[in-house]
Amino acid sequence: MKSISKGKSLKYLFLFGPFFIAAGLAVGLVSETWNAIPLALISLGMAVIVGYLLWQSQQNKWWERRSTQAGTNAIIATLAVLTILGLVNFLGIRYQYRTDITESRLFSLAPQTQQLVKNLKAPIKVFIFTNNQNPQDQELLENYRRQSSNFDFEYINPLAKPGQAKSFGVKEEGEVYLVYGDKRQLVQVVGNNQPLSEVKLTNRLQQITSSTQLRIYFLQGHGEAQIVQGQNSMSQAFQAVRDTIFVPEALNLVESKTVPENTNVVVIAGPKQELFESEVKALQEYIDNGGNLLLMIDPDTDPKLNTLLSEWGVKLDDRLAVDISIAPEYGGPSAIYISEYGQHPITKDFGNGFSLYPLARPIEITQVDGIEVTELLKTKPYPNSWAESDLQSEDLKFNEGRDRKGPLILGAALKKTLTSSTDTSSTDTSSTDTNSTATNSSEAKPTPKENPNTTEKNSPQAKSNTTPSPSPNEVKTEDKSQEEKSQEEKPKESRLVVIGDSDFATNGLFGQQLNGDIFLNSVTWLSQVDDEQALSIRPKEQKNRRLNLTSTQSFIVSSTSVIVLPLLAFVTAGFLWWLRRR
């Protein structure tokens, strides 16, 4: 009797173990400090439980029972599974890896966006003035924030914080603003089934972080593609250029006589008529003095630019590029799909992506001393592609002696370092000025006015140049001026991109595949801006994948998913049960 009562008392004593553990956990979680008190309670509870189990094993040998061993194995297996799941979740949170298998990369940022955000040198913040937080917009902004700690965003309820909304000049709910230093820019208005656009956000981000604006001129007056909405228009390309760091304008060389001095790039897109000799001469002078040209010349046209192109070793082939491997539903042999690109900053991120060139002409390249050439766009090798001379024949076939075998070059990028007499004369002029002022070296000391950037940043120190010993700030100013002079002494270049087609950049085709990236990357490279993120694949607008079903189609889909499929599952299950009963 005494042993039975003793066993019951020890059994009740065992309950103190879970009690002490629960008390220790409660104290630690409530106080949020795991000091000696909660740890002591947890340790005491575990000691009670372990002591009871040891005593129990000596009393009735329960450890040797098969049921105990099976239960212990089950507990260990359960704990192991929970531990593995915990480790997997911990590693998943700490080391994130995301993959996007959607066709349009719906949940991934474009390479240009990723590079742009990663290269942010100062904090930038997005303010969304709305009370309705769209999960899709939040996911997009989170993707931006994952790229850099300098990017952040905040949702603001304009009704709860009217003062802040007024300071931004908010006129309607859903306005999205970018703030970068003392700059502020409206991105778009979200809401009413209008989500936040990566295209618009990235473009505004590039504009607000850029310190310069570049001018690009589109030559007009010879049947070129229009830059306004209309037939044979490239207004989408014109607007895409405007949305970046460029200021695009039309150029009429008949009226202006010369290319404006502030021009970074001149675009000649699909001229149908010949250029006047004076216009060709103006373009020649422009590119000889460090200008940059983008020529997109269609087949069966002669803009009379041969004299300019011959100096670069470029010749326009009068034949038509064909590719017999292109199926009729994709445009047929005259529609060239390019998936092979040269190793060049314009095409460095393209991989094996496609770009489309309908009715394109090949170009021939001859190596010229002092000119660096990169073949940008290449067709498939023969027998798939060749340059066709007989455009009237319905049955395309290669004619030896008249046609040229592929692979063909449809686009090329060229650059030339200027070592002309212009550079020499400027050097001689600077040396003459230096000699003429050598006798008054103390008076000819450069003033801050000669360097606008230095004047803006160091104007207080500029006033103290009369002091005998320069301060450390003045030394830094001199170092900066030397760096700027070394950049100015960098050899001047002229750049040229020639593509045997202009239709790829017109409305309807500009947004297809990589066509827009070819055009914008060419313009950016020609502008000679050292901007890595600008030369990459840009974000695309999401495609509309919605299906418009009729009432009959909707009934069939709903009845199939609600009635037919469940009924089929029950019938299959009943048939299998009947087979097993036999």
d(CA 303, CA 297): 8
Tokens of 217: 């001129």
What are the C-alpha distances in Å from 6 to residues 2, 51, 52, 55, 175?
6, 15, 13, 12, 76
pTM of the model: 0.63
List Cβ neighbours of 371 (8 Å cut-off, separation of 6 or more). 312, 313, 414, 415, 416
Bond into 303 cis (ω within 30): no
**Four-point Cα dihedral 255, 260, 263, 265, nearest 10:** 40
Residue type, 168: F
Please choose, from the candidates 246, 492, 293, 331, the residue with its C-alpha nearest in 3D space to the C-alpha of residue 412. 293
SS3 477: helix
Could you count the other beta carbons within 10 Å of the beta carbon of residue 463? Answer: 10
Contact at 8 Å (CB) between 495 and 292?
A: yes
Kindly report the backbone phi and psi dihedral angles of residue 415, in degrees, each rounded to the nearest multiple of 5, phi listed first. Answer: -145, 150
Q: Which residues pair with 267 in a beta bridge?
A: 218, 294
**Domain extents in the chain:** 2-94, 111-209, 214-420+491-534
DSSP line for 487-551: HHTSPPEEEEEEES-SGGGSTTTTTSTTHHHHHHHHHHHHTT---GGGSSPPP-PPP-------H
Q: pLDDT at position 263, please?
A: 92
pLDDT at 485 (0 to 100): 46
**Cβ(415)–Cβ(494) under 8 Å?**
yes
From first to last of its 582 residues, the chain has per-residue pLDDT tens of 445 455 556 666 777 888 888 888 888 888 778 888 888 988 988 888 888 777 777 766 666 667 767 877 888 888 889 889 888 887 877 776 667 666 555 667 888 788 888 888 899 999 999 988 888 899 889 989 988 999 999 999 998 999 999 999 999 999 999 999 888 989 999 988 888 988 889 888 888 888 777 899 999 999 998 888 877 799 999 998 888 888 899 999 999 899 998 899 999 999 999 999 999 999 999 999 999 999 999 998 999 999 999 999 999 999 999 998 887 877 888 899 999 999 998 998 788 889 999 999 999 999 999 999 999 999 999 999 999 988 777 778 888 889 999 899 999 999 999 875 444 344 444 444 434 333 333 333 333 333 333 333 333 333 333 334 344 334 333 444 443 444 455 678 999 999 999 999 999 899 888 999 899 999 989 988 765 445 555 565 555 556 677 888 888 888 888 888 899 999 999 989 888 887
According to CATH, the topology of domain 214-420+491-534 is: Rossmann fold (3.40.50)
Distance CA 358, CA 19 (A): 80
Instruction: Report the distance separating Cα 202 and Cα 205, nearest Å.
Output: 5
111-209 — its CATH code?
3.40.30.10
Neighbouring C-beta atoms of residue 287, cutoff 10 Å: 21
Structure tokens at 290: 């460090």
| Three-class SS state of 481 | helix
pLDDT value of position 440: 39
